[in-house]
């Protein structure tokens, strides 16, 4: 069954990776994040907490952003259909083709809901892979872990870009624009903090990003 099956609009959430020291620190991390987010200080919320392992911080936040984006997209699936969105795009200038080197060895032009379904299933497979996101005590992160995280964030950004470019009116009608904006602002600040996405990939939402980063400085 696909993660966001086209026959079902109910998004699921991913388990959190529980690496050795994360088992001990996860509650404190969550409390730290909630405190800083609650105060509106998103810049502080993305900083690596003192004494925390970078890979563990990246892992926990990768899962959290995946869940956030999955839930946000899940609210507008009735508006994002193969008929309404025959291609995965972020406006007229940006179109995304799916490639996963397994089922799609060459970039394929698919509808937005099919693209997002493949994307979410692919991310879930990464998170469930013990060799990449270890959950057992004593298991270490791979040496190329940040490269994997970068690939996940690059693709997750495309879901935000599609929502903003194509479905923002639906988001407003549902009263979710504040939630979307806060989630995306948090995402971008995290991306900038750890240099996770090439600036060229962020071009579809460059103006919005500039505005959000300017707000974050105030």
Annotated binding site for Zn(2+): 80, 85, 162, 167
Three-class DSSP category at 89? strand
CB 135 within 8 A of CB 19: yes
Going from the C-alpha of 116 to that of each of 74, 122, 172, the distances in angstroms are 10, 10, 21
Annotated binding site: which residue ranges? 80, 85, 162, 167
Distance of CA 78 to the CA centre of its chain: 20
Three-class DSSP category at 40? coil
Q: What tokens were used for 163?
A: 């929502």
Using alpha carbons, select from 152, 145, 144 the residue that is nearest to residue 187.
152
CB 67 within 8 A of CB 120: no
Q: What tokens were used for 83?
A: 């008929």
- State the distance between the two ends of the chain, measured CA to CA, in whole angstroms: 45
């Amino acid at each position: 069954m696909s993660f966001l099956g086209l026959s079902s609009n109910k998004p699921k959430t991913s388990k959190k990776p529980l690496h050795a020291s994360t088992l001990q620190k996860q509650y404190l991390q969550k409390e730290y994040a909630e405190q800083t987010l609650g105060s509106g200080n998103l810049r502080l919320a993305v900083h690596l907490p003192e004494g925390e392992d970078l890979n563990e911080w990246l892992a926990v936040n990768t899962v959290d952003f995946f869940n956030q984006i999955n839930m946000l997209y899940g609210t507008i699936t009735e508006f994002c259909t193969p008929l309404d969105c025959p291609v995965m795009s972020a406006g007229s200038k940006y179109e995304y083709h799916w490639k996963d080197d397994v089922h799609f060895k060459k970039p394929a032009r698919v509808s937005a809901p099919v693209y997002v379904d493949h994307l979410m299933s692919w991310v879930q497979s990464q998170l469930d892979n013990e060799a990449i996101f270890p959950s057992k005590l004593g298991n270490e992160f791979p040496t190329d872990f940040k490269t994997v995280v970068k690939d996940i964030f690059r693709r997750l950004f495309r879901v935000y870009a599609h929502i903003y470019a194509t479905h923002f009116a639906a988001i407003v009608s549902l009263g979710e624009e504040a939630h979307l904006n806060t989630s995306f602002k948090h995402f971008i600040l995290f991306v900038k903090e750890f240099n996770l996405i090439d600036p060229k990939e962020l071009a579809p939402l460059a103006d919005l990003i500039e505005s959000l980063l300017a707000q974050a400085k105030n």
